[in-house]
Chain A
Amino acid sequence: MNLRRLYMVLAVLLVVWVLLPIFLIATLAFSDRPSVFAWPKGLLPQQFSLETISFFFGVEGVWRAIRNSLAVAAMTLVFSVLLGAPAGYALARYRFAGADAYRLLILMTRAFPLAILAIPLAVRFIQLGIYDTLLGVALVHTALALPFAVLVTSSLFLSIPKELEEAAWTLGCNRLQAFLRVVLPLALPGLAATAIFAFVISWNEVFAATLLTLRERTLPAFLLTSLNDSPLPFRFAGGFFLIVPALVFIFVIRRYLFTLWGIASR
């Protein structure tokens, strides 16, 4: 019985460890300027104020960076699902020569720090005329998200019995009809989770985004490049705003967390 209680105490401590820093940054983001600079600080917020947050959104370029981030993440989402899902389907449904080599290629991308590859790409992007464009950033982010999309959708399609598709064929469907009428409706929640995951990967990525842009900054790139010459309230509000979508997304896809990370990691 005491052991159970100890477990519970430890579990709650871990919850505090995870949530306290988020709570603190939220507190700072929603207080006025003097409280941000106050010392010593109490744990609880002094007074609720939108001053810091509105100051953040008032800074020139912030809105544009947010818009850019959303656009890049949306493109990444579309690209990785459109490129990844067919490959995942092929891996799940067919045994073909080269399947293992392909799987290896996908797994190999993990053994390399992909964001670093933004350096040679930046040089090439300048030549191609897509340097400092949202498309360029989205392409690199797709390279980051694609391996996940392939592995996740492959396990997703694997979990939909092949017999369902076969039954549809015997009942008069061609391949495409069977996919659209039977597989797609069943795969949709998982595909949505995959898409959201790709979105988060892009939303959070900073190295490549910073390297590949000058004016068309995404939010993390904008924050990073202005860190040194921006006041603390701006940074705190920015940090908090970066976290918010992540919290929502993780909540939405929590059911698929293990498919996404667990199975994707085999």
Chain B
Amino acid sequence: MRTERYLPYALIAPSVLFLLFFFAWPLLEALLLSVRGGGGGWTLENFQRMAADLYFKDALKYTLLLALVVVPLQVVLALGMAMLLGGLSRGRDLFLYVWTIPLGISDLAAGIVWLAIFTERGYLNSLLQALGLIEQPQLWLSYETPWMIFLAVVAAEVWRATAIVFVILVAGLQLIPKEYSEAAEVFGATPWQRFWRVTLPLLKPSLQVALILRTILALEVFAVVVALGGRNLPVLAGEAYYWYNAYQNPGVAAAYAVVVLGISVLATLVYLRLMRPRQEEAA
């Protein structure tokens, strides 16, 4: 029976080893790779090459902008959907299922789906033509119209990944006892006040999780962008890919990876700090 004490360690050991090798170690390796020169010494060469690259500034700009636009949109939309779900009297299960379908759809697939809409002979142009707004197909996804590509990416990302936020929020809402809202109602709070003063503060932990998760995924955005705009809308993860694959330069690719990592960690810390639970909520 004394072996009991070691059993849990034996059970977690394989996953710990695995994560050390495939998570902790590559994390370190990415840092090392980015600061190691061709000769083997320490250098900032990779970062300098990255910063000097034509695409770098745009990639940084578009990646950050995408996260800034997409994540709030998704959270607001998901919050609306979660509240809407609570207000539905019939068909909740069906709506829940359909709304969460995008959970299973990959970013690449989402990009291709929205390509069908935004492409030259796609559904958007067909619709505009039917409305009499255009006569000839417009070219939306070209290097001359990066903002249109940006818009298409936003549409695809909101379409695909709002479901994740939605599920996290619904799960969080289920953990909030109905009594709080009912008590507020008894004391005369309107639905709007109940949402802002009771539901939303209690939902903070779930919101935090959703924000962190979505922001990190948004900073990794890659396949959607490639499918819709190729390199016409450069993003950080995409640049890392091109530097590794096309230019065969792991050092600069690693530098890009480090930038993405850095921004991710920073964003996580900001969220954790901004949404720190207050004492009374922790109780």
Chain A interface residues toward B at CB < 8 A: 3-4, 7-8, 10-11, 14-15, 17-19, 21-22, 24-25, 28, 37-43, 82-84, 86-87, 89-91, 93-94, 96, 98-99, 102, 105-106, 109-117, 119-124, 139-140, 142-143, 146-147, 150, 200, 203-207, 210-211, 220, 223-224, 227-228, 232, 235-236, 238-239, 242-243, 245-247, 249-251, 254, 257-258, 261-263, 265-266
A and B contact pairs by CB, cutoff 8 A, 20 listed: A17-B159, A37-B121, A39-B125, A41-B123, A41-B126, A90-B7, A113-B237, A113-B261, A116-B30, A119-B240, A119-B253, A119-B254, A200-B104, A206-B107, A207-B222, A223-B108, A224-B108, A246-B109, A250-B104, A258-B171
Docked-complex contact B84 and A262, CB < 8 angstroms: no
Complex CA–CA separation, A211 to B244 (angstroms): 8
| With A119-B244, A122-B244, A142-B18: A257-B116 Cβ-Cβ less than 8 Å | no
Query: How far apart are A80's CB and chain B's nearest CB, in angstroms?
Result: 9
Docked-complex contact A4 and B89, CB < 8 angstroms: yes
Docked-complex contact B159 and A21, CB < 8 angstroms: yes
Complex CA–CA separation, A266 to B109 (angstroms): 28
The listed residue (B9, B30, B108) touching A220 by CB distance below 8 A is: B108
With CB as the reference atom, state the residue of chain B lying closest to A235: B112
Docked-complex contact A254 and B97, CB < 8 angstroms: yes
Query: How far apart are B154's CB and chain A's nearest CB, in angstroms?
Result: 14
Complex CA–CA separation, A143 to B205 (angstroms): 25
| With A11-B88, A28-B116, A243-B113: A84-B174 Cβ-Cβ less than 8 Å | no
The listed residue (B33, B95, B129, B265) touching A112 by CB distance below 8 A is: B265
Docked-complex contact A102 and B16, CB < 8 angstroms: yes
Give the tally of cross-chain contacts (CB within 8 A). 283
The listed residue (B100, B223, B268) touching A257 by CB distance below 8 A is: B100
A-chain residues with CB within 8 Å of residue B91 when the two chains form the complex:
11
Query: How far apart are A237's CB and chain B's nearest CB, in angstroms?
Result: 9
Query: How far apart are B4's CB and chain A's nearest CB, in angstroms?
Result: 8
| With A39-B125, A112-B216, A206-B222: A117-B26 Cβ-Cβ less than 8 Å | yes
Docked-complex contact B23 and A89, CB < 8 angstroms: no
Docked-complex contact A227 and B227, CB < 8 angstroms: yes
Query: How far apart are B251's CB and chain A's nearest CB, in angstroms?
Result: 10
| With A18-B101, A122-B250, A246-B104: A262-B168 Cβ-Cβ less than 8 Å | yes
B172: Cβ under 8 A from any A Cβ: yes
Residue picked from B18, B89, B212, most chain A C-beta under 10 Å: B18
Docked-complex contact A110 and B216, CB < 8 angstroms: yes
A-chain residues with CB within 8 Å of residue B32 when the two chains form the complex:
120
A-chain residues with CB within 8 Å of residue B274 when the two chains form the complex:
none
Complex CA–CA separation, A201 to B19 (angstroms): 17
Docked-complex contact A120 and B109, CB < 8 angstroms: no
B102: Cβ under 8 A from any A Cβ: yes
A-chain residues with CB within 8 Å of residue B88 when the two chains form the complex:
7-8, 11
